[in-house]
């Protein structure tokens, strides 16, 4: 089974979420539940750090797009951090994540 670690660091009006490991069909629902559980309607910003993510498939992308949609409804900004040139960054760019979230290195 594929594993992903989700570390949540809440702040007053924002939350930093670091995801490491791999996200695929076998664990995407659990990852989504952990991420969504850390979000409430008082947040101004969510920062999702994917620097430690080694693999991301279409199920993982579905989690990111669902997160972006939820944050849009909550009027909360979404920043996705991923190193330039990394395999994860290339997947995010090809999928168009930059259109729904602020994609930064």
Query: Most distant CA pair in the chain: distance in Å?
Result: 35
pLDDT tens readout for residues 47-87: 999 999 999 999 999 999 999 999 999 999 999 999 999 99
**What's the confidence (pLDDT) of residue 2?**
83
Q: Report d(CA 57, CA 63) in Å as an integer.
A: 10
* Superfamily per CATH, domain 4-104: STAS domain (3.30.750.24)
Rounded mean pLDDT, 32-55: 97
Q: Is the pTM of this model over 0.85?
A: yes
**What's the confidence (pLDDT) of residue 27?**
97
Average pLDDT, the chain: 97
64 φ/ψ angles, rounded to the nearest 5 degrees: -65, -40
**What's the confidence (pLDDT) of residue 75?**
97
């Amino acid at each position: 089974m594929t594993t992903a670690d989700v570390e949540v660091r809440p702040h007053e009006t924002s939350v930093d979420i670091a995801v490491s490991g791999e996200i695929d069909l076998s664990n995407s629902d659990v990852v989504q539940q952990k991420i969504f559980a850390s979000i409430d309607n008082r947040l101004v910003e969510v920062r999702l750090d994917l620097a430690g993510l080694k693999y991301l498939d279409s199920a993982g992308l579905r989690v990111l797009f669902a997160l972006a949609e939820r944050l849009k409804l909550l009027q909360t900004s979404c920043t996705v951090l991923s190193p330039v040139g990394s395999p994860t960054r290339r997947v995010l760019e090809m999928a168009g994540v930059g259109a729904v979230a602020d994609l930064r290195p």
